[in-house]
Amino acid sequence: MTDTQTHQPTQTQTQTMRHDGGGREVDVDVVVVGAGIAGLYLMKRLRDLGVGARAFETGDDVGGTWYWNRYPGARCDVESIDYQYSWDPELAEEWTWSERYATQPEILRYVNHVADKHDLRRDVTFETRIVDARWDDATSKWTIRTEPADGGPLETLTCRWYVMATGCLSAPKDPEIEGSDAFEGEVYVTGRWPHEGVDFTGKRVGVIGTGSSAIQSIPLIADEADEMVVFQRTPNFSLPARNGPPRPEKVERFEQADDYREEARWSSAGVPRDMPELGAMMVDEDTRRARYEQAWQEGTIFSLTGAYNDLFLNPESNATAAEFVRSKIRSKVDDPETAEILCPTTFPIGTKRLCLDTNYYETFNRGHVSLVDLRAEPIQRITATGVEVGAGDGASESRSFEFDAIVFATGFDAMTGAIVRVDIEGRDGLSLREKWAAGPQTYLGLMTEGFPNLFMVTGPQSPSVLSNMAVSIEQHVEWITDTIERLREDGHDVIEPTELAERAWVQHNDDFAGITLFTQANSWYMGANVAGKARAVLPYIGGVDRYRQTCVDVVEAD
């Protein structure tokens, strides 16, 4: 399934080649982009294999997503017992999660603990971004230019292998609102939250967006703000997280950590759980409602849409789960009009990522919090003092809101954004940005034809965001490092998917997506949240277990 070329095995040591024009030129075996959960594990594996590697990170420390997303209420929506590294079994003994769903500061402390314990910072260059990367067929190497945050000279490196461990939700998207630079008050973006925190006490705050980041932060911002207005374009389905101490039944199962983790690796979403055998329409309404109620009480993103086996396939089944959640929203929100605005009706439940919340809907019962339905009154512009909404057709009146602070919770250019923001040029000058203009084309979400020796961790067309990222990251890191090790042992310098293998994988992804309801939503899963981005299902829908088996089969087939 792949082409390889044979050369001498690469050097294992990092070598300084020459100095040039103020910038240095360095040759390493592997360049890794990102020092988050994926980048750190990559660096550890490569070091253990004796492969010279350097990582680059735009932040000034490790943590990736947990470094950047410091907004109030930021938590993982996968339980912490599941969302942690498995490669160092001692960590489970050393680290006890204080909550079922740990907060961002606790997760960041955990990542720092791992970085300290394994001395992983020493091979990372912080506050440095990759500007571009070009493949050279003559040397079978990548040439990469990096730019330090302090505006210092660009550095040029060459490497044999180039790994993007850039995360799926790391490139904040442009808010795409007229005048978004015009506001003269405080401006915050959830994905780039100030490290020192923000005190909203006594302030009038506008929040734009109602995705996970907004749904987690709104109740806490409302605790401080004098007045809060939430601008909602599309309502989301959110389930109560029921956060608290780690669940005793989970803690007990995790006592057999090896078995538990193996089960996670071979589960459909990277979290061990019982799979439903029945379709939703195979049971009567009372049974169904009781099952949904049980799932609602469970408080996970998997429980409700995992209650029946056809909720992503059969619109009629899906509608029963969606209506169940809408009934819960109506029961939580006092004002019937506000409740209706908060009820999602335009996409099947689960086809936009479900949110987990603590008191989100209840926040709209507070006197100082109001909701603006942007479908009825779209944002016209952001002004120096606030936000103007209205149909803009002269038929209805426009309204202005004045704020001290505006929070943009407007999301990310997901899955492909962080990859194509680097100017990557493969064989014969082929631009990755151009190759993916009509949607990503990858082999297994790990590589892409025309870009030899370029690997992606949890790239598009792999399970990634539809799974427990911790499990999917480890699988990719191990696959990539095993592959590099094998190529070196066998004296191969180049690996690249064939065009046919890639076409088949893209087709397989499309086929899977086509039989599900995912294509019916204008979600970031579909690339639909970014103006001009091609519409394509970005994650692999077939499940972690099926995907892992495919990767195993590919390796076994040599």
Residues that bind ligand N01 (CB under 6 A): 75-77, 169, 175-177, 190, 208-214, 216, 233-234, 353, 374, 379, 409-412, 465, 524, 529
Residue by residue, DSSP assigns 137-190 as TTTTEEEEEEEETT----EEEEEEEEEE---SS-SBPP---TTTTT--SEEEEG
Whether 213 and 411 have beta carbons less than 8 Å apart is answered as: yes
Burial grade of 142 (CB within 10 A; 0-12, 13-18, 19 or more): buried
Q: How far is the CB of 230 from ligand N01 (least distance, A)?
A: 10
The smaller minimum CB distance to ligand N01, of residues 234 and 441, is found at 234
Distance in Å, CB of 72 to ligand N01, minimum: 12
Please state the closest distance from residue 231 (CB atom) to ligand N01, in A.
Answer: 6
Residue type, 27: D
Considering Cα of 279, then 281, then 286, then 292, what sign does the dihedral take?
positive
H/E element, 477 = helix 469-490
Provide the token pair at 170.
């790391």
User: What is the DSSP secondary-structure string of 313-348?
Assistant: T-HHHHHHHHHHHHHHHHHH-SSHHHHHHHS--SS-
Question: Among residues 72 and 175, whose Cβ is nearest to ligand N01?
Answer: 175
Buried b (16+ CB within 10 A) or exposed e, 63-76: bbbbbbbbbbbbbb
Q: How far is the CB of 102 from ligand N01 (least distance, A)?
A: 10
CB of 101 to ligand N01, least distance (A): 8
Between residues 430 and 534, which has the closer beta carbon with respect to ligand N01?
534
List residues bridging with 136 in a β-sheet: 141
Least distance between ligand N01 and beta carbon 75 (Å): 5
Q: Is 26 or 189 the residue whose CB approaches ligand N01 more closely?
A: 189
Smallest gap from residue 55 Cβ to ligand N01 (A): 23
Q: Helices marked H in 197-268 — which ranges?
A: 212-224, 248-254, 257-265
Judged by CB, which is closer to ligand N01: 379, or 495? 379
360 vs 505 by CB, closer to ligand N01: 360
Taking the least distance from each CB to ligand N01, the nearer of 166 and 212 is: 212
Residue nearest to ligand N01 (CB): 211
